């Protein structure tokens, strides 16, 4: 289901982010990623801030900072990071996906939809974003069917469709987040 750490229980999250797979990733970023992966968010944030003080245009580092802030449940700050990445590196689909996940966690499904459609437009082979987009469509359909049932509680067709959608969104025990960021040379 929608892949992030902050989404309600009916969404699942997938964090496949691994700086070690990026061709030019630095040892410093790998160490910060390790801290992040071990939920040592405060230490990771201190280190990423120091790194970004030297390389403020490093897309990988900024993306990682967004993930760390998400892990710390600093949603507004994480959204700011992903939004600024979208502005500075509009060719990267991953920040759009992560931003969409945070929108969905807040119930802003139309905004999530737009962000995911952008991610898929940038990279038509981006399976995680496609899956998340499907989850958003299903969630929005569930909302619509719920409204139908409120208007006409004898509508068995809408009730059956809503029941199917609810089966899709079975709560997951441990939500996670996104996948990797494409390599973009730092400036």
d(CA 148, CA 103): 25
Q: Which residues of 59-74 are buried (b: 16+ CB within 10 A; e: fewer)?
A: bbbbbbbbbbbbbbeb
In a domain, 26, yes or no: yes
In a domain, 80, yes or no: yes
In a domain, 185, yes or no: no
Number of domains composing the chain: 1
In a domain, 5, yes or no: no
Place of tokens 């719920």: 146
Q: What is the CATH number of the domain that holds 61?
A: 1.25.40.10
Q: Domain range for residue 134?
A: 19-168
pLDDT of residue 180: 56
* DSSP symbols for 59-120: HHHHHHHHHHHHHTT-HHHHHHHHHHHHHH-TT-SHHHHHHHHHHHHTT-HHHHHHHHHHHH
In a domain, 7, yes or no: no
pLDDT tens figures, 17-27 = 333 333 334 89
In a domain, 160, yes or no: yes
pLDDT of residue 179: 47
pLDDT of residue 181: 58
pLDDT of residue 141: 95
**Mean pLDDT for back-to-back runs of 10 residues, the chain (187 residues):** 38 34 64 96 97 96 97 97 97 96 96 97 96 94 96 95 88 49 48
pLDDT of residue 160: 95
User: Nearest-CA neighbor of 181 among 129, 133, 143, 146?
Assistant: 129
Burial class (CB in 10 A: 0-12, 13-18, 19+), 160: exposed
In a domain, 186, yes or no: no
Task: Round to the nearest angstrom and report the end-to-end CA distance of the chain.
Answer: 35
In a domain, 39, yes or no: yes
């Amino acid at each position: 289901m929608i892949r992030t750490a902050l989404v309600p229980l009916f969404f699942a999250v997938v964090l496949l982010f691994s700086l070690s797979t990026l061709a030019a990733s630095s040892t410093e970023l790998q160490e910060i990623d390790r801290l992040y992966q071990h939920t040592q968010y405060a230490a990771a944030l201190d280190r990423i801030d120091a790194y970004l003080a030297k390389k403020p245009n490093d897309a990988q580092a900024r993306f990682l900072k967004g993930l760390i802030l998400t892990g710390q449940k600093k949603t507004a700050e994480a959204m700011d990071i992903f939004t600024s990445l979208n502005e500075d590196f509009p060719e990267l689909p991953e920040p759009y996906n992560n931003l969409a996940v945070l929108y969905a966690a807040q119930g802003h499904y139309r905004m999530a939809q737009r962000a995911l459609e952008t991610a898929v437009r940038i990279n038509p082979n981006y399976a995680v974003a496609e899956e998340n987009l499907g989850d958003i469509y299903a969630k929005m359909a569930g909302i619509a069917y719920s409204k139908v049932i409120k208007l006409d509680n004898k509508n068995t067709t809408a009730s059956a469709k809503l029941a199917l959608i609810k089966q899709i969104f079975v709560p997951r025990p441990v939500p996670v987040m996104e996948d990797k960021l494409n390599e973009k040379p730092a400036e």
